[in-house]
């Protein structure tokens, strides 16, 4: 009779995976992926006024900030080593209209924030979205005509908005509205206005997702939205279509690509990185953030460890970085660990 140990030996031969896992030092030595502060982009929410930082009920730990507070936050993030922020404005309701015309104002909330932050914190990158949803009275990302989101007219407007944002000091324009032809149009408009150095991070594959709920509360678009965004965002069932959509953005001149939401779409992150080799980012969106916070608040998961594990998963899936509301929290944690 062979004993159990012998039996396992016959199966494994010399192959024992656990040798490399046996101690902290071996595990550190063989670790394939690592999360660093350089991987983080911090999305922040803006409100008009001064001296206000107000909590967002659906996103515990995240605040809407007036420009002066956003400047302080950007300074703190830069001091922690966070390379870039992404800004999203919650503008007054009376400024929102059918075509999102406030997006073209030089002194609108997002542009004021950009120039103030650029001025005070020149060493942090500023990424601005040109989708029209913060500016429209119907909460859609584009111009609504007779019940339809019109493509080409929206593209013209977001390209103009991109030029205004670049003039205010934006370093990277990130169009998230998923209209066809937008990357090429924005590139041409930026170049024509002398902004050759302003990059484009395409929300290349943005899925029609239920994970955006808390964000819509953060910028007060949830109650406004009529219908859904299925005629312009990608169906969560479609991976190959997502790749084709991203391929067009690459052809049209995108400098960086993004996948959104993040964790449910790691396969897309991997496929995009493999297919194009461009710097590729995942957006760990509001619903992903809030799920972790809610479960942690209930004591059902270890929030800190789940946060780090999800962010590391993006690295393993080939991402060069992550847009995450956890950015300051994780930057502090990484700094503490040294
Ligand atoms: C829309 C936009 C969305 C997000 C950022 N810009 C999605 C939407 O409201 O449909 C979501 C970000 C998040 O959920 O964190 N242009």
Indicate the average pLDDT of the chain: 96
Over residues 57-84, the pLDDT tens digits come to 999 999 999 999 999 999 999 999 999 9
DSSP characters for 155-212?
A: HHHHHHHHHHHHHHT-SEEE--S--TTHHHHHHHHHHHTT-TT-EEEEEEEEB--GGG
Over residues 160-192, the pLDDT tens digits come to 999 999 999 999 999 999 999 999 999 999 999
Inter-CA distances, 254 with 147, 169, 203, Å: 30, 19, 10
**CA nearest neighbour of 264 among 195, 215, 211:** 211
Instruction: Give yes or no for residue 13 having a pLDDT over 90.
Output: no
Is the distance from the beta carbon of residue 217 to the nearest atom of ligand 1 less than 6 Å? no
Over residues 133-167, the pLDDT tens digits come to 999 999 999 999 999 999 999 999 999 999 999 99
Closest ligand 1 atom to Cα of 43? 15
pLDDT of residue 271: 98
Query: In angstroms, how far is the first alpha carbon of the chain from the final one?
Result: 53
Is the distance from the beta carbon of residue 133 to the nearest atom of ligand 1 less than 6 Å? yes
pLDDT of residue 7: 86
Over residues 100-112, the pLDDT tens digits come to 999 999 999 999 9
Q: Which helix (H) or strand (E) holds 260?
A: strand 256-260
For the chain, what are the domain ranges? 33-337
Over residues 269-282, the pLDDT tens digits come to 999 999 999 999 99
pLDDT of residue 137: 97
Position of tokens 């080409």? 152
Question: What's the pLDDT band for 338 if we cut at 50, 70, 90?
Answer: confident
Over residues 317-332, the pLDDT tens digits come to 999 999 999 999 999 9
Q: What is the mean pLDDT of residues 89-94?
A: 98
pLDDT of residue 2: 52
Is the distance from the beta carbon of residue 141 to the nearest atom of ligand 1 less than 6 Å? yes
Is the backbone of residue 2 left (phi > 0), alpha (psi -120 to 50) or beta? Answer: beta
Q: Which residues contact 130 (CB under 8 A, 6 or more apart)?
A: 103, 158, 161, 162, 165, 173, 174, 175, 176, 177, 186
Nearest CA owner, ligand 1 atom 14: 212
* Neighbour tally for 247: CB within 10 Å: 14
Structural Rg of the chain based on CA atoms: 22
pLDDT of residue 154: 98
Instruction: Give yes or no for residue 234 having a pLDDT over 90.
Output: yes
What is the distance in A from the centroid of ligand 1 to the CA of 213? 8
Active site (catalytic) residues: 206, 260
Round to whole Å and give the CA distance between 248 and 121: 34
Q: Is the Cα dihedral 143, 146, 147, 148 positive or negative?
A: negative
**With pLDDT > 90 as the criterion, what percentage of the chain qualifies?**
95
Superfamily of structural domain 33-337: Aldolase class I (3.20.20.70)
Question: What's the pLDDT band for 3 if we cut at 50, 70, 90?
Answer: low
Q: In sequence order, which ranges of 13-150 are alpha helices (DSSP H)?
A: 24-30, 67-80, 109-120
CB of 201 closer than 8 Å to CB of 257: yes
**CA nearest neighbour of 317 among 253, 259, 267, 254:** 267
pLDDT of residue 337: 87
**CA nearest neighbour of 169 among 108, 128, 109:** 128
Instruction: Give yes or no for residue 1 having a pLDDT over 60.
Output: no
pTM here is 0.96
Closest ligand 1 atom to Cα of 177? 16
What is the distance in A from the centroid of ligand 1 to the CA of 225? 12
């Amino acid at each position: 009779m062979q004993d159990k140990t012998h039996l396992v030996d016959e199966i494994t031969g010399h192959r024992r995976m656990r040798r490399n896992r046996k101690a902290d030092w071996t595990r550190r030595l063989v670790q394939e992926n690592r999360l660093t502060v350089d991987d983080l982009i911090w999305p922040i929410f803006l409100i008009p006024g001064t001296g206000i930082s107000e909590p967002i009920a659906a996103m515990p730990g995240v605040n809407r900030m007036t420009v002066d507070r956003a400047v302080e936050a950007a300074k703190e993030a830069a001091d922690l080593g966070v390379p870039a922020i992404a800004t999203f404005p919650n503008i007054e309701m009376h400024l929102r209209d059918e075509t999102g015309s406030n997006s073209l104002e030089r002194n609108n909330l997002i542009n004021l924030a950009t120039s103030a932050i650029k001025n005070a914190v020149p060493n942090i990158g500023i990424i601005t979205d040109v989708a029209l949803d913060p500016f429209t009275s119907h909460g859609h990302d584009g111009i609504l005509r007779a019940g339809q989101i019109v493509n080409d007219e929206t593209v013209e407007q977001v390209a103009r908005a991109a030029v205004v944002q670049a003039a205010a000091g934006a370093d990277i324009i990130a169009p998230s509205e998923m209209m066809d032809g937008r990357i090429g149009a924005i590139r041409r408009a930026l170049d024509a206005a002398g902004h050759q150095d302003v990059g484009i991070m395409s929300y290349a594959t943005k899925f029609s997702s239920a994970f955006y709920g808390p964000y819509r509360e953060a910028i007060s678009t949830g109650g406004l939205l009529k219908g859904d965004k299925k005629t312009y965002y990608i169906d969560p069932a479609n991976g190959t279509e997502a790749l084709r959509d991203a391929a067009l953005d690459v052809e049209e001149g995108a400098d960086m690509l993004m996948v959104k939401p993040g964790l449910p779409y790691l396969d897309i992150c991997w496929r995009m990185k493999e297919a194009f080799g461009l710097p590729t980012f995942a957006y760990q969106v509001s619903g992903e953030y809030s799920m972790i916070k809610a479960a942690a608040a209930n004591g059902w998961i270890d929030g800190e460890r789940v946060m780090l594990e999800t962010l590391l998963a993006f690295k393993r899936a080939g991402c060069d970085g992550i847009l995450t509301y956890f950015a300051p929290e994780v930057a502090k944690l990484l700094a503490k660990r040294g």
